[in-house]
Amino acid sequence: MDEHDVNQTAPTETTPAAGTSRRRLFKRLGIATLFGGLAAGLGFKAFASGHGCHGRGGFMSGNLDPATLDERIDRMLKHLSVEIDATPAQQQQLAPILKQAAGDLLPLRTKMRAARTQAKELLTGEHIDRAAIEALRAQQLQQAELASKRFTQALADAAEVLTPAQRKQLAERMERHRHGWREG
């Protein structure tokens, strides 16, 4: 009896479990990739500016080198400073926090992009290599954890620079934009 015959004679109750397991795997891969991308891209965009794309792409879109990244952070910090009435001293403290965090997250962004390509190849290939898919999933969860920790550290560092009123203003702004993204 070959594998095909076994699958035909197996109880139908195992088929939904296999489908559920596969959906769970795809969901986990998607969540890990999405979380890393969000932490590296939208997170800084929402924190640093919240201004949308304006036709130029997002904060972390396109190919970024450290100089371009620094320029974008400077531009967004100026916008943020006006909106929350940050002092020049606060701006000087925030700039290195944001630039260092973005610089640390930039390589993770590159790895996440490569992982999406690898996932596509693994899932659309002639044969499905479950071990490779699982290894990629585990790797993506590690990358997401690193990105999350670094992003959270930067948020906490930046929050310590701001006053409670400024943090509240920033949180309200982020909440307004969160609703806009969800409704859009």
- 142: domain range? 22-183
* Structural domain contains residue 12: no
* Structural domain contains residue 4: no
* Structural domain contains residue 10: no
Number of domains in the chain: 1
The residue with tokens 């499905």 is 128
Per DSSP, 11 falls in state -
Q: What is the pLDDT of residue 47?
A: 38
Confidence of residue 179 (pLDDT cuts 50, 70, 90): low
* Structural domain contains residue 157: yes
Q: How many angstroms separate the CA atoms of 118 and 127, rounded?
A: 14
pLDDT at 146 over 70: yes
Q: How many angstroms separate the CA atoms of 52 and 50, rounded?
A: 6
* Structural domain contains residue 150: yes
pLDDT at 151 over 80: yes
* Structural domain contains residue 9: no
pTM: 0.58
